[in-house]
Amino acid sequence: MKVYELSLNRKLQEVTGLKDHKRHVDTSRLSADKRVAFTDVLQEKIKTESGLKFSAHALRRLEERNVDLGPAQVERLREGVLKAEEKGAKSSLILMDNQAFIVSVKNKVVVTVLNEERTKGSVFTNIDSVAIV
């Protein structure tokens, strides 16, 4: 298993609350056309639980920037998206716990993720709202 897949498996366990490492999706026995990507499993679980999707870019940024999102943080993020949607926002910057999320509110897709280091000195463009949760 690749390091990236192991990390995604860990994130999936955090989001789903599964602690048993043996409950991960074992793709080694599946044929190439039937393999389930961990990003797909994670994406589906987050979508099912919260109604949010994370773009492939956002998933890479979560990994690269060591941003860990548990169920409580995903729920807060979802609530921020819903508040922005109620106000008519289309693209929003959501600030949560020294992290920033650019979200397509219309599509309920997290586009990118920035940790505290990356937010300092940043200029955010093409957004129409900011939500602090």
Give a three-class secondary structure readout of 14-33: HHHCCCCHHHCCCCCCCCHH
Tens of pLDDT, residues 56-95: 999 999 988 888 888 899 999 999 999 999 999 999 999 9
pTM here is 0.64
* Encoded tokens for 53: 């999707």
3-state SS, residue 65: coil
Q: Whose CA is closest to 126, among 110, 98, 95, 103?
A: 103
Length, in residues, of the chain: 133
* Dist. CA 33–CA 1, nearest whole Å: 17
pLDDT of residue 68: 84
